Structure 1
Amino acid sequence: MRRTLALTLGLAAAAACGTAAAELRIGFLATLSGPSADVGQDQYDGFMLAVEQMQGKLGGVATRVVREDDQMKPEIAVQALTKLLDRDKVDVVTGLTYANVLMALQGKIAGTDIPFIGSVAGPSPTAGAQCKPNLFITSWQSDATAEAMGKYLQDKGIDPIAILAPNFLGSKDKVTGLKRFYRGKIAQETYTPLTQLDFSAELSATGNSSAKGLFAFFPGSQGVSFVRQYQQFGMLQKLPMYSVHTVEPGSVNAMGKAGVGAIVAESWQPGADNDESRRFVAAFEKKYKRTPTSYAAFSYDAAMLIDAAVRARSGDVSDRRALAAALRGAPFKSVRGPFRFNRNNYPVQNYHIYQVVEGTGGKPAFKVLVPNVLADHEDAYARDCALKAEGA
């Protein structure tokens, strides 16, 4: 009887999920060229590491990844996404590096049931009124890391501060988040072109301001140039730097001593104290001969999420809405430890303050300075999302 019952239940599950796909097609759309190519490459490498670890299968289904470079240009991204959807017939799209690019894709995302899983960009409109049942973000809403830094600066009583960041939506979100928790004065607030690499004028003005600290956000190669110049101007000694997504494991070696001492806010860095993180870092360093960034970690988590959802569907990805529902509820082991999606398909997670220190052999390392400066933290826009909460 037990064998008959097990067979009946198995057949029922198979009927509910349909037929397993012969191949799972993943469209990987990210910024893979230009000044911020390092960010997209980290995303891709983290994702492909997970695919490799599962012998080329996600959810037990043979997986083909089609990679497209959006060049950090919205019009190129729209063309690339059209190709992925219409010609390549992908089942899932992931990557999605920059906020301005992701915003340009909203019409395309709304026009399909295919799930999109971003692993870096988290623009505020998509977390609130423009949330979608088929758009998921495994990283953070763009405000969140800056909210954590704002909380830290407020708790430390550092007042006033200066702000330097590139001029695009992601930066504006971060500064909004910073100000949500930081109540001190802003001595100077400056935005630079997204591709600018010479910051001498901005640093000179900042050095002459009344600021007691600097909040900086410059991703990718911009971050390397900025931090090097910050040291060359002799500002590390007189104006501490508090940053998000500027001093990263992938770039800190290129920064050399300039990065040591920087204080950063993140939901994950290589110093995270859990077994999943340690295994991921070891495997990434072995394969790619460099330390992973949070961008790589969030993309690795995206692959693990897809694996769990496809497995929950017994390999059937033909019903896109059912696959999206599985993505929302499928449990997976994140490198961050506790992780869950909010009603807007954005993470609810812990944020920490790290400091860059000299580690073993003088190699820069990320040391936890303040754990859980924001714990089980929800973004500020979820209340504006009309999607139903899980289980509602």
Structure 2
Amino acid sequence: MKTQLTLAATALLVGTAMTPALAQEKIKLGVIVTLSGPAAALGQQVRDGFALAVKDLGSKMGGRDVEVVVVDDELKPDAAVTKVKGLLERDKVDFVIGPIFSNILQAIHRPVTESKTFLISPNAGPSTFAGKDCNPFFYVTSYQNDQVHEILGKVAQDRGYKRMYLMVPNYQAGKDSVAGFKLDYKGEIVEESYMPLNTLDFQPELSKISSQKPDALFTFMPGGLGVNLVKQYRQAGLADSIPVLSAFTVDESTLPAQQDAAVGMFGGANWAPNLDNPPNKKFVASYEAAYNVVPGTYAFQAYDAAMLIDSAVKAVKGDLSNKDAVQAALKKADFTSLRGTFKFNTNGYPIQDFYLTKVAKRPDGKFQTEIVQKVFENYGDRYAKDCKAAN
């Protein structure tokens, strides 16, 4: 009997261990982000944050070597579709990680998920895939777009700002940002200004803000848009009289260019470099040592995306052939997030804490966002109730 039990246990171990052939096959990860034009700094943070995580993992996931293929979506939906099909068909990647912008995500979502390849977004989280169109092959390590903007709406309401001027880019994430802001804000909106994504000159809008004298400006202007807006806002003399509540306008991707012009401006985020926990402190120090810049949300969310994938690969012992098993492992999110509290909602978007942040200049001369207060705790998005996918 003892011999039989030993043979059975041995057979079980052999059945669950990774085969030598599988162990020799590399896990291929395709990163698609914006790496050209004014928004390149955002994509660079994702690329570098992800690369740092892979390095910290010893370039292995679940015992298998990892190969990362990085492509530039050029912030063009058509180009992004071509690039992502190359990742799927030529490179045969096991996971696609990206993109930055929601319009690019909307373009690549179908070709990736219909190929039954897992798509992990380290930034874009549009409402379109959070509700009834959620997908078991799609997971987000950032947020649902509305949520970050909800922070600023609640802060504006709580601080008694009675008149607000809203200025955002004219695409899906901009529309989501306004919807998010309006959830808690009940005061007067003196104007909603929707700007082209290639706007460089904000003087006409700044003149309107100056004449209408709102209590505060709410804006979402990522990348180069935010750099120009903040500099022109400060130069126009508005920063000292009309506070700025922003999302992705003053953050670690734009602060090296904005510098003193951004100091004192507020933001909303799910994280900040000074978030006080040991893994985050290690991450920030390692990132600054490797790249000589302060990491932003884009970098930390990409780091978490890599750790999420690693947790799933480990859970299935390196065997990615069973898609249902990989999906279940991703859903568990069995890793330590740099933000602390983190779990997936039913729609594959996070439940997490959110903060009001403020731009500060550090003693070493670098600029970073710092936490002012926690605004939402263990907060899930409002679209998850409509998700019927088996996430």
1:14 aligns with 2:17: yes
Residue 224 of structure 1 pairs with residue 227 of structure 2: yes
Match of 1:56 in 2: 59
Deviation at 1:257, TM superposition (A): 1.4
Structure 1 residue 161 corresponds to structure 2 residue 164: yes
The residue that corresponds to 2:328 in the other structure is: 325
Give the Cα–Cα distance (whole angstroms) in 2 for the partners of residues 200 and 262 of structure 1.
19
Structure 1 residue runs of 4 or more that deviate by more than 4 Å after TM superposition: 1-9, 18-21
Structure 2 unaligned blocks of 5 or more:
none
Aligned counterparts of 2:163 and 2:63: Cα–Cα separation in 1? 54
Structure 2 counterpart of 1:42: 45
Match of 1:381 among 376, 379, 383: 383
Residues 275/214 of structure 1: CA separation in 2 closer, same or farther (3 Å cut):
same
Distance 2:6 2:152 in 1: 57
Q: Structure 2 CA distance, aligned partners of 1:41 and 1:362?
A: 22
Aligned partners of 2:298 and 2:233: how far apart in 1? Answer: 24
- Mapped to 1, the partners of 2:144 and 2:244 lie a distance apart of 22
**2:109 counterpart residue number:** 106
Quickly say closer, same or farther: Cα 1:6–1:354, change in 2 above 3 A.
Answer: farther
Partner of residue 70, structure 1 = 73
Q: State the secondary structure of the residue aligned to 1:105.
A: helix
CA contact (8 A) 1:188 1:209 kept: no
Is the counterpart of residue 87 in structure 1 residue 90 in structure 2?
Answer: yes
* Match 1:201 to one of 200, 204, 208: 204
Counterpart secondary structure, 1:246: coil
In structure 1, the partner of 2:139 is 136
Shift in Å, 1:83? 0.9
In the TM superposition, what whole-angstrom CA distance separates every residue of 1:21-42 from its partner, at most 9, and x where no partner exists?
Answer: 6210011111111121111111
Query: Structure 1: where are the runs of 5+ without partners?
Result: none
Aligned to 2:181: 178
Is the Cα contact below 8 Å between 1:44 and 1:95 reproduced in 2? no
Question: Are 1:290 and 2:300 an aligned pair?
Answer: no
Matched, 1:242 2:245: yes
- Contact 1:120–1:138 (Cα < 8 Å) also in 2: yes
Q: Structure 1 residues 44, 187: closer, same or farther in 2, change over 3 A?
A: same
Give me the whole-angstrom Cα distance separating, in 1, the residues matched to 2:385 and 2:137.
Answer: 18
Deviations 1:309-349 (A, max 9, x none): 10111111222332222111141011100100000000000
Aligned to 2:343: 340
Q: Output the CA distance in 2 between the equivalents of 1:53 and 1:379.
A: 31
Partners of 1:32 and 1:145 in 2: CA distance: 24
Instruction: Report the Cα offset of residue 361 of structure 1.
Output: 3.9
Matched residues, percent identical?
A: 39
Residues 188 and 206, structure 1, Cα contact 8 Å, conserved in 2? no
| Aligned residue number for residue 273 of structure 1 | 276
SS of match in other structure, 1:348:
strand
Equivalent of residue 126 in structure 2, options 119, 123, 128: 123
2-structure distance, mates of 1:363, 1:183: 37
TM-score (norm 1): 0.94
2: CA distance, partners of 1:339 / 1:21: 33
- Residue 213 of structure 1 and its aligned partner are, at CA, apart by 0.2
2: distance between equivalents of 1:73 and 1:365?
Answer: 30
Distance 1:281 1:5 in 2: 48
Q: TM-score, normalised by structure 2?
A: 0.95
* Contact 1:160 1:211 survives alignment (8 Å): yes
Greater Cα shift, 362-371 or 64-73: 362-371
Change (3 A) 1:105 1:363: closer
